[in-house]
Structures are given as C-alpha cells and as structure tokens.
Amino acid sequence: MGNHKIKGKDLKQINFKTDKAKSLAIDIMRRDYKYLSVNEQLDKLEDVISNPQGYADDNSFSKLVTELLGEEKVNPGVAYQLNENESTIKIYGSQLISEETIQQMAIAMRLPISVRGALMPDAHMGYGLPIGGVLATDNVVIPYGIGLDIGCRMSLTIYDVPTTFIKRNNYHIKSSLKDHTHFGIGNPAKPIADHEILEREEFQEIDFLKKLHGKARMQLGTSGSGNHFVEVGIVELSEDNKLNLAAGNYVGILAHSGSRGLGGTIANHYTQIAKERCLLPKNAQQLAWLDLNSEAGQEYWIAMNLAGDYAKACHDVIHKKLAKALKVKPVAKIENHHNFAWKEQHDGQEVIVHRKGATPANHGQLGIIPANMIDPGYIVSGKGETESLCSASHGAGRKMSRKAAKESITGSELNKRLKQNRVTMIGGGVDEAPMTYKNLDEVMLSQRDLVSIEGKFYPQIVRMDKQ
C-alpha cells in the first residue's frame, strides 16, 4: 500500500485553506481510503472541497467538513409545503414498475412548481426523481431531477462494412477497446485528448467552473463505471428507416456514458445551494429547486449545458479514436441525452422538462434504447406523444439492485450467459449481468405509442469498467 499513501505535496492542486484541513485530509485518506490510488484520493478530496455540506454526515469526513466550513453561516431559505394532491402523471407499463417507484414520482408531482409528469416503463427508484421519471416544472430546475451524471447519453455510429468484419478482426477490436477506452475514477486517457470543449468561455466566466477545468481535461474521452459501456456489434436496419440507409446489416459502435466528475461536482454543488434556499419536507428534500430567474439558477443552467456538451465531446473522442484504430468510416450517427433538462412548449406553456433516465421522443427524433450486455437494443424514432411529454424509456431498467445482484449471481452464471449468446465481455461484473434488468421487449410493448422501431443493435464485444 506504500505507493497509495497521499502526501502533503500531493495536495498542492487542492485549495485547502488551513494546515489543519490538510492534516485531516491526509489522515482520512491513509486511514479509510488507502486502497485507492493517489489520483483517486485526490478526486475524492476535490469532491469534498466542492461540496462539503454533502459530506457533513459522513463519519470519515465530518471533522474535515467542520474545519472547511468554520463559522460559515447559511442564509435561511424559504419553506415550502407539498400540495395535498399530485399534478397529472401518466404511467406507462405500470405492471413493470414497483409501487415504491410510483410513490417516489407521486411526491415529485406534489411539488408546488410541478406542472405535469410521466413515468417510463423502465422506471425504478433513484435519488430525487426516479430513474425513468419525466417532470415538467414552472420556470425552475431541480438538479437532482436531472441527476449526478448530467448529460449521460447514448451514441451509436454506423459503419457500412460487412458484419463479418467483427469476426475477422476480433482480436484487433478487443485490443482497440482496451487501448482506446478508459473507465472509472483515476484512469485518464493517455495521451490526454484535445477538444474545443476545453476552450469554452464558461470555464473562465464562472468561478466554480474554473476549478473544474483541470478535472474536465483529465477525464475527457473517458467513461464512468457502473452501467457505462462501449460496445461493438451488428446494426440491423428496417425497411424505410428514418436514417435514410438501405435496409440490412451494418457494423456499429455503441457508447453509454456521461459528463464524468465535471457533471457530478456540478450536480452536488448546486443541489446543496438549492437545499439551502428551498426548504422542503424530509421526504422531498432531494427535489429542492433553483428559480431560473435567480443567479444560482442561471449559473446551474449554464453549467448543466456545458456538462451536456462535455459528455458529447467525450463520446466524440471515443468514437473518433476507435474509428481510426479500426480504419472504418461512419455513414450515420445517432445520439441522445437521457439525464438533462430542456425548455419546451407543452399545452401552450413553456416548461422545464426534466428527463432523468428518459429518452427525448419528439416526432421523428432518433434515439437508442439499449437492453443489456447480451440482448439487442432498439433504434427508435419518436412519435411526439404529448402525454409522455414526448419521452420514452432510456433502456430496459433495473429489476435488481447491484447489491442483490452480487449476492445472488455468480461469475460462472454470467460467463455461461455470455458464451450462450456469443458475446465477449471485457471488464464488467455480475452487478451488470443481464438478469438484473427487465425484459426490453416488454418495455417496448408498453411504449409502442411513444416510439417507432427503426432497427436493432446486437452487442458482440462489450467493454465496461473492471469490477
């Protein structure tokens, strides 16, 4: 563990105001986080600095938080009560959704700023809004209605090469995925990618974002852990598809990831501000909002959009590197956010539509809805259904928690499933096994009024974070 011991000189890049804070930080890392690399420890401490209140109840960090905050006073916020009855909510595939998830959405619908809402058939419990929850609000934004991974998205690049390309180049594809994709904390892409997103003026105009520029630079072109992936597989397009490509089979690269530490730090920072200003009952505290007429609300909106563009930039870098390594040229690309908020018109009113784990499905809008690491996902186009706030599911949705998966599924079971379906897995773990997800075909049946099917994507080689 010697190489993982953090030292005082390692903290130079972090803005600790006192020597005591530095000493506490070193003690905490050596005691409770010595299994992390030095870079991972620094990432953790940066998050504590950016959002000390979020760690106030953490046994490891409570003393450090007290030192960081000192005698800082928090401005009293405005107390709000929930409405007795929730606003209109439309539920798709209720038979696939737990009662706890429906109740969590019902709380969101009782906020005094809620206008309309919908639950997608892949919905399950989350922080703030459920995953698969769609909420329209009146001129306010809820940071946890979008989530920690701002701009988490799908991107599919299609290549007009024979599908035998995958079998013929199996070893080269696996090597390219290992060399040109990077997952999890403390695993930067090398060399660090260059992209115009790093020149964005927002990084200079907002003090809080200035501090995140270095992290954004280090993590550009990388993916998160958990259910994030990069896959090479077969794209099957239907007749008269809206991509204007001939029906048939193509090779595709599908990626799923978001805005990395940039988005997570933005989410935590502005959620804390929202909680201080918007005082809600205990069961709704994570739904605290920021008025878009306020300075903090405007700042969050700018930061959210920057994080969304950063997530897209990460995807662009990944696809570009792999295309170059495999010597293939794209003929089409489909991409969509599913953790984001948009200003939209519904029923003649401008509202802020939060889609947390939900795919935008305006009329004719293309999107990707994946299943799991072995079953085919769907390429879709939206039908513009107003009752769903022009939304659809973002995947199959979990039916089993990660903890439950690790307790009930073995590695040999997962490997057997992969072998049966002729799918190669690089990294990954039982917490993302196919058995932990709902049946995507059942999900699609429940949202047949929301999207049209344009094609399918069949995973062949799957790259995820090593568990």
Q: Which residues are catalytic?
A: 394
Burial class (CB in 10 A: 0-12, 13-18, 19+), 118: buried
Q: How far is CA 393 from CA 275, 282, 357, 438, in A?
A: 29, 29, 7, 12
CA–chain centroid gap for 108, Å, is: 20
φ, ψ for residue 124, nearest 5 deg: -155, 170
Q: Strand 451-466 relative to strand 229-237: parallel, antiparallel, unpaired?
A: antiparallel
Q: Got the DSSP string for 128-153?
A: SSPEEEEEEESSEE-HHHH-SSTT-E
Spatial separation of the C-alpha atoms in residues 144 and 73, rounded to whole Å: 24
> Hey, is 64 helix, strand or coil?
helix
φ, ψ for residue 154, nearest 5 deg: -110, 145
Contact present, 358 and 120 (Cβ < 8 Å): yes
Q: Could you give the angle at which helices 38-50 and 62-69 cross, rounded to 10 degrees?
A: 50
For 347, the token pair is 């029923």
CA–chain centroid gap for 58, Å, is: 24
Sign of dihedral through CA atoms 108, 114, 119, 122? negative
Spatial separation of the C-alpha atoms in residues 168 and 41, rounded to whole Å: 42
